[in-house]
Each structure stands twice: as C-alpha cells, then as structure tokens.
Amino acid sequence: MTTVHVPAARPAADLSVWPASTTEPARGDLAVGGAPLTEIADRFGTPVYVLDEAEVRERCRTYRDAFPEADILYAAKAFLCRAMAHWIDEEGLGLDVCSAGELELAVTTGFPPDRIVLHGNAKSPRDLDTALRLGVGRIVIDSPSEIARLAAAVGPDGRQKVMVRVVPGISAGGHAKIRTGTDDQKFGLSIADGYAQHAIARILGRPQLRLTGLHCHLGSQITSVKPYLVAVRRVVGLMMRLHEQHGLVLPELDLGGGHGIAHRPGEPTLDLATLASRVRAELADARATAGLPVPRLVIEPGRAIVGPAGAALYHVLAVKHTGRHVFVAVDGGMSDNPRPALYGVRYAPRLVGRSGTAAPARVSVVGRHCEAGDILASDVELPGDVRPGDLLAVPVAGAYQLAMASGYNLVGRPPLAAVRDGRARLLVRREFRAVPTER
C-alpha cells in the first residue's frame, strides 16, 4: 500500500488585533481597507504608518451607540491630523485637546470650537489665550494657579465655561507611568486632601468663570469596569457635598477615557457595552440617592478609536545571531514608536510579502537607534528564515506612535497613509532631516 503524505493545513492567520477590513489575499500577504500592504510600502517607503479610515469611523459610531446620551470627545493626543479632525467632526464627536497646536489645527480645518475641550496640567499663556480667542467650549482647570490667570485673561465682561479635574485616589491602568487617578502625581486636584474643594470655592468667586462640571481621568489601558464605577461614586459624592455647601448643581461629569485595547491576540480589552450600562446605572443610583438630576456624561476615548485602526510597516535591515538571541533590526524604532521603551508595550509583528518556509523562531525586533532600549518587540515569533529586505507589519499602531515620534538621530518622522476602498492616500508627509551646515 502506498502511503500518501498530505501536508498539514496551514493554520489561519490570527487577524483579531488587525482592522476588521484586513484580509490575506495570498499566502504571506495582507491587505487593509482593500489596499495591499506591500504596495503601500513600495509607494511610500518605510517606515510608514497605515490608517484604516473606515475602522476609525466605525469605532466612533460604536461609542455613539454605546453612550447615546453622552458627549463623546476624541482625545486628540492619541493622533491628530487634518483628515482625522474631519472624520471626527463628520462622525459627530467632539474633541479633547491639550495644547494650542492641537486646538489651532482642529479649528483651522473647520472643527466647531464649542465642541472642543482644552485640558492639561500646565497650560501656557498661549494655550489659554488661543482657547479664549477661538472660543473653546470648555477649559479644564488642573491647578489653583490657573484660576486667577484664566479669570484675568477672560476679562471683567467675559465668560468662560470651565471644569475642574479632580483626583479620586484610584489606581488603574496598564503601567505605573500611565496611571493618573492616584494622589501624589502631577494631574488634577485631590478630593481626599481637600484641594479640589478649595479650588472649586475659588472658582465660584470668579464671575468670569462658569463651572459646568467635574473632570476625572484615571489613566490608560484600563480593561476593568470596576475603577470607573468607583470613580463615579467618589466624584458624585463630591458633587453632593458641593450641593450641600454651596447649593451647586453641576450639569456635567467627564469620566475621561483610558479604555484598554489588545495589542496582541488574546489580550484583554475593556467591554464597552458593559461599561456603558454599569456606569449609567451607577450614576442614576448615586444621583437618585442625592435627590439631584443626573449630570450629562462626557467620555474621552482616544487610543480605543484610532489604535486598532493603524499598522506600521518596516523593512528589515539586518539579522544578527548573538549567543541564544536573534535580533531583527528594522529601519525605524523608538523615534517613531517610543512606547515599548516607555511603558513596556508588547506587539505582534508579522512578515508580509512572502511566506516564510522555515519553522518559527523566537526573535527580538529592534530599532536602528543608538540605544540598547530601542526594542520594538521582544521575544516574538517570526519565520526562522527572516532576512534583510523583508517587510514587517505591526498592528495596533494608530495611537501614541506617530503622535509621540521624535527626530532622534535625525532620521525624520515617517509618513502616514489612509486606506479606504482599496485606495491609499497620503495624510502626513515624511519628515526629512537636513544635515546642519557648519559655520
């Protein structure tokens, strides 16, 4: 009897952390938004960022559907360009900015300034002057010193709506460096030590400032609903005390964002539907107990809207075997994505453009910069025959990568292309760094 050896079926690619439009048109290839990633790399060069417009818009709609009674503000710090501002506007979201630069970019694209909130722990005079000049909807007061400065800038005949960022004393977030709901850090005013209450009393004495609500942001990459529920209880408790002391009824409660997403298959994410229903119920119960109207909720997602919609493409420059380690060096690194070095973020890069024939090997994908910590993905699987010239794609690259890019080693920031319906168009040009001329 002749034995026929049937090759084992190739396992289907795990595309769970890629945009919903991602397909594998041929073995070893990937397309996002109908546009092949190899063609994007050839056309725009590498490194290059790819952003799925349809995915961004769909995630905006998901938030609107989950929180129909709330104001959804996209956190611009995650990533902002003119096209992104247009998409956010067209999808009916507001905008959360933290600098005059972000504010001016948005308004000059036609974004309505009354749907913009400015916040930040150390606003410059230019930040405040620009916000007042352009008519920003809200300014979030983060420190006592801002109260007098802002009131003076508004002038005796002006009025500006403000919120106060309070700290509820809650530790939540994926890394210590992105937890902002705890006491003894640079953001906000603590409820526990009374600084928040003192600042609010000072604001009430300034007729130029109209206090509309309280702002609370716990941190980033939060995957549990519980911290948000605790925050609602503590902030609503403060609202109750303010009503008792000052007869104040605040109409708005901003719970910030920080909604966790998965960067690798199998990682936990925040359940948005559960968050919405539980927060809604918690808010209603707390306010009913106090006999006060339910404030309008404000939510500020950033990473959860744009992060999963993006991918980064790199070419391999070198493969180095040293002892037990294999280093795959690419033409980008910490200048276009500092997050692994800052927070230990882990990614799942993938070989694109050909199908590796060797068994998978454990490697570290490293950047080109002169830093030992310039590692994009440590201890990940790639085909054992990965070689210089190969194209690597990294999913979940839409947030806090190009937005945090630097000019380290004068390599220049990468471009960004948007994809939709099989076509790619340039949104952000590549930054070329000129060599300084000696004098």
pLDDT at 6: 40
Residue 172 has pLDDT above 70, yes or no: no
Amino acid found at 281: A
- Do the bridges between strand 416-420 and strand 423-428 make them parallel or antiparallel, or are there none, so unpaired? antiparallel
The arithmetic mean of pLDDT across residues 17-21, rounded, is: 96
C-beta separation of 109 from 82 below 8 A:
yes
| C-alpha to C-alpha distances, 128 to 104, 112, 207, 228, nearest whole angstrom | 12, 17, 18, 29
Contacts of 130 (CB under 8 A, 6+ apart): 100, 103, 104
Q: Are residues 135 and 267 in the same domain?
A: yes
Return the closest-CA partner of residue 54 out of 66, 62, 42: 62
Kindly state whether residues 204 and 137 are assigned to the same domain: yes
- Close Cβ partners of 115 (under 8 Å, ≥ 6 residues apart): 73, 89, 93, 94, 95, 137
Identify whether residues 320 and 207 lie together within a single domain: no
CA-wise closest residue to 147 among 135, 163, 132, 133: 163
C-beta separation of 48 from 416 below 8 A: yes
Least confident of 167-181, 266-280, 341-355: 167-181
Amino acid identity for residue 149 in this structure: R
Does residue 70 share a domain with residue 42? Answer: no
Query: Percent of the chain beyond pLDDT 90?
Result: 80
pLDDT of residue 21: 97
Sequence-separated (6 or more) residues with CB below 8 Å from residue 165: 119, 140, 141, 142, 187, 188, 189, 214, 215, 216, 217
CA distance 332 to 312: 10
More reliable by pLDDT, 169 or 173: 169
Q: Quote the CA–CA distance of 421 and 57 in Å, as a whole number.
A: 14
* CATH number assigned to the domain comprising residue 358: 2.40.37.10
Given a cut of 90, whether residue 20 has pLDDT beyond it is: yes
Q: Give the least confident one: 35-39, 252-256, 343-347.
A: 343-347
Band of pLDDT at residue 12, cut at 50, 70 and 90: low
Residues 215, 276, single domain; the answer is: yes
Overall average pLDDT of the 173-199 stretch? 71
**Predicted pLDDT of residue 324:** 87
Tell me the pLDDT of the chain averaged across its residues. 91
Query: Is residue 218 in a domain?
Result: yes
**18 in any annotated domain:** no
**CATH number for position 195:** 3.20.20.10
Whether the upstream peptide bond of residue 47 has omega within 30° of 0, thus cis, is yes
Q: Are residues 300 and 419 in the same domain?
A: no
- How close are the terminal C-alpha atoms of the chain, in Å? 84
Sequence-distant (≥ 6) Cβ neighbours of residue 256 within 8 angstroms: 215, 216, 217, 218, 299, 300
* Candidate list 81, 98, 216, 370, residue with the active-site label: 370
* 321 and 248 in a common domain: no
Specify if 143 maps to a domain: yes
Place of tokens 């979940």: 396
Does residue 398 share a domain with residue 356? yes
Which of 373, 369, 359 has the alpha carbon at shortest distance from 317? Answer: 369
Between 402 and 435, the higher pLDDT residue? 402
Place 181 in a pLDDT band, splitting at 50, 70 and 90.
Answer: very low
Alpha helices in 67-99 (DSSP H): 82-90
Place of tokens 């397309």: 31
Question: Confidence band (pLDDT; 50, 70, 90) for 437?
Answer: low
Give the model's pLDDT for residue 176. Answer: 55
The residue range of the domain holding 339 is 31-51+308-428
Whether residue 133 is contained in a domain is answered as yes
Clarify whether 81 is annotated catalytic: no
Q: For the chain, how many structural domains are there in total?
A: 2
Cα–Cα separations (whole angstroms), residue 103 to 8, 50, 270: 55, 24, 29
Among 284, 306, 328, give the residue marking a domain's end.
Answer: 306
Do residue 264 and residue 408 come from a single domain?
Answer: no
Domain termination site, one of 288, 306, 324 = 306
Rounded Cα distance between 369 and 330, Å, is: 10
How confident is residue 9, by pLDDT bands cut at 50, 70 and 90? very low
**Contacts with 54 (C-beta within 8 Å, 6 or more apart), sequence order:** 19, 21, 33, 420
**What are 224-237's pLDDT values in tens digits?**
999 999 999 899 99
pLDDT at 52: 98
Residue 13 within a domain? no
Give the whole-number percent of the chain exceeding pLDDT 70. 92
Beta-carbon contacts of residue 343 (< 8 Å; ≥ 6 apart): 174, 175, 177, 178
What is d(CA 340, CA 376) in angstroms, rounded to the nearest whole number?
6
CA 93 to CA 403: how far, in whole Å? 20
Integer Cα distance of 250 and 238 in angstroms:
11
- Helix, strand or coil, per DSSP, at residue 121: coil
pLDDT at site 168: 86
pLDDT at 425: 98
Give pLDDT, residue 1.
Answer: 45
Residue 169 is predicted with a pLDDT of 76
Q: Amino acid identity, residue 320?
A: K
**Boundary of a domain, candidates 306, 337, 371:** 306
pLDDT tens for 31-86 read 999 999 999 999 999 999 999 999 999 999 999 999 999 999 999 999 999 999 99
3-state SS track over 400-416: CCHHHCCCHHHCCCCCE
**Model confidence band, residue 2 (pLDDT cutoffs 50, 70, 90):** very low
- The answer to whether residue 288 is domain-embedded is yes
Residue 12 lies in a domain: no
131-140, 219-228, 423-432: which range is least confident on average? 219-228
Residues 254 and 298 sit within 8 Å (Cβ to Cβ): yes
